[in-house]
Structure 1
Amino acid sequence: MSPSLTGLLAALAATVVWAGNFVVARGIAHAIAPIQLNFWRWLLALACLLPWALPHLRADWPLMRRHWRHLSVMGLLGVTLLNTFVYKAGQTTQSLNMALLVPTAPVIIMLLSRILYAEPITWRRLAGMGVVLCGVLTLLSRGDWQHLAAVRFNPGDLWALAGAASFALYSLFVRNRPKGLSLAGYNAATFALGLVFLLPGLAVEVAVLPAPALTVPVVAGIAYAGIGCSTIAYVLWTRAIAGIGPVLAGMVYYSLPLFTAVESAWLLGESIASFHIVGGGMIIAGILFATVDRRVLRLSRPQPRTGQR
């Protein structure tokens, strides 16, 4: 297969795997507490990564010591908070709602970039953000626009938005990854630090809540999240970006709600309501309008190397 086709298939496969994370969050939300689920997920992911990361960790150690603050913030945002919020959301909202709300991160990134880096917000971006906001309000209100002021928002939807904010901050700060620090070492360090930050919450859950029963769904859910979402999907996504570029790969990622809807209906029996279609359509359309430019699309396609046909 051509590199472009391989990249496209890899992006689709990664998105399908990530869609399953929202199904896991909903499917075993009441069988295991969110911090415990997140801890075991990333511990398994770290165990999968370490065989490749150990040589890099030794070489990167002096650089890591100098940049421990940055690594700590990234571990807190990308490991400790993001998926804890998603798994907490799964206790009170549908998988599809989470899959529609979490990808609003690009819009949050624009707002934070304006606040932190004084980056301009063009009329196109502003219009796109307005459409996304309407889509989010449609989901939060369950389509009850006439009584929007009085409606009680589902707590799970707000937790999902908190997860989107965590991912936005992570994406914003990852641009500051220290030069010379390998990607494998960087990920292993953030995984490990994120696990350390989970320990206080884990101790509280273990002390206060009953121990989770290690049923087949719980073990399978942890394995899926740790091996599938944190390891296999990451490898696939890296291959996708190499094949079709980050912008086109990102557009494939916006099909996440579609795959989540199919998987949640098939595995959990969740229904798809009209407000899901309307709100989700506005969110995806607004994000694409605000973030994608036809000139960028042309430039994002990997160019052939000199001498290749």
Structure 2
Amino acid sequence: MQKQSSRLALAAAGVTVVLWASAFVSIRSAGTAYSPGALALGRLLAGVLVLGAVLLIRREGLPPRAAWRGIAVSGLLWFGVYMVVLNWGEQEVDAGTAAMVVNIGPILIALLGARFLGESLPPRLLAGMAVSFAGAVTVGLSMSGADGGSSGGHASVLGVLLCVLAAMAYAGGVVAQKPALAHGSALQVTTFGCLVGAVACLPFAGQLVEEAGRAPLSATLNMIYLGVFPTALAFTTWAYALARTTAGRMGATTYAVPALVVLMAWMFLGELPGLLTLAGGALCLAGVAVSRSRSRSSVGAGADLAGRERAPGR
């Protein structure tokens, strides 16, 4: 049973990583017609509608009172601030630089998780994060033209600062969400976190209405896609997996996103990655594999603990 739960959590994390990677392609399209705040609000409203419908069908109701603090903080930081600031940041810096800067998020998650959640920092997690961060830097440099290519990347101080702020909001949101999942279900925490973010973004409602009237259909469809899949579905599968592992380990898993973004950009945007980009993507994936692996001693200890928990009288 424990092994099956672990496999389901890993599968859920995989769904999240793939859908979050696809979001970069959709944001790039929708962002040409929608401003950062309007795009965030439209995405969140689409997510709330889908999540709310599923919540009603499953009749899960309101989350327990003990979960609301974490839901409110994660909703404000992750669903609200993160989405707006990241959309804005990607208008100021190229995609490679944004990916490189935002990928300090998993490191912040591990540090905040150790400080506020009492999570450990095992050597394999730290080693895997170091390898993945090196890969993210490599991908970012290659995509921004810093490798001597002609991709024409650009960066501004404001854009870099915005991406750092996005990474901080992302990390804070994850750490706040983890305790809430001890009281509420993944669907409850995600639905009401998304609702909190949408309410926080309501000041952009006027922009959304105005821009939706003149935006091309493709941009609007991409905004809806962002709300249904990378938000409603991916954030729910993320919460499901987060409830079954540590925040630090889950954060390290998202280092696979830059590698998948490179592949999707090649498939859907016709951007052929160079050798340096491919090498960076391989490092990202290798780091995730290392961070999620366990030493033989820890596996043995876990099996011994599971055996004691199943013994009579426990």
> What is the TM-score with the length of structure 2 in the denominator?
0.69
Residue 267 and residue 222 in structure 1: after superposition, are their counterparts in 2 closer, same or farther (change >3 A)?
A: same
Q: Deviations over 1:279-301 (max 9, x none)?
A: 5455555565556433467859x
Q: Deviations over 1:212-248 (max 9, x none)?
A: 6231211211121111112333565678789xx7589
- Is 1:170 matched with 2:163? no
User: Equivalent residue for 2:23?
Assistant: 21
Distance in 2 between the 1:263 and 1:140 partners? 15
- Is 1:231 matched with 2:232? yes
Q: What is the DSSP-based 3-state SS (H/G/I as helix, E as strand, rest coil) of the residue aligned with 2:60?
A: helix
Q: How does 1:233-272 map to 2 (within 5 A)?
A: 233-234=234-235, 246=245, 254-272=255-273
Q: Deviations over 1:63-91 (max 9, x none)?
A: 27xx6544321111121022223322332
The offset of 1:14, in angstroms, is 4.2
User: Which protein has greater RCO, CA pairs closer than 8 Å, 6+ apart?
Assistant: 1
Could you list the runs of 5+ residues in structure 2 that have no partner in the other structure?
A: none
User: How many matched pairs?
Assistant: 291
User: Equivalent residue for 1:88?
Assistant: 88
Q: What is the DSSP-based 3-state SS (H/G/I as helix, E as strand, rest coil) of the residue aligned with 1:186?
A: helix
- Is 1:190 matched with 2:193? yes
Q: Deviations over 1:10-49 (max 9, x none)?
A: 6544433221101112222221011111111111111111
Alignment RMSD: 4.5
Q: 2:68·2:180 contact (CA, 8 Å) conserved in 1? A: no
Q: 2:78·2:170 contact (CA, 8 Å) conserved in 1? A: yes
Q: 2:97·2:155 contact (CA, 8 Å) conserved in 1? A: no
Q: What is the DSSP-based 3-state SS (H/G/I as helix, E as strand, rest coil) of the residue aligned with 1:91?
A: helix
User: Equivalent residue for 2:41?
Assistant: 39
Amino acid at match of 1:172: V
Distance in 2 between the 1:71 and 1:22 partners? 25
Amino acid at match of 1:170: G
Distance in 2 between the 1:199 and 1:249 partners? 30
Q: 2:25·2:265 contact (CA, 8 Å) conserved in 1? A: yes
Further displaced range: 70-79 or 274-283 = 274-283
Q: What is the DSSP-based 3-state SS (H/G/I as helix, E as strand, rest coil) of the residue aligned with 2:214?
A: coil
> What is the TM-score with the length of structure 1 in the denominator?
0.70
Identity percentage of aligned residues: 24
Q: How does 1:103-118 map to 2 (within 5 A)?
A: 103-116=103-116
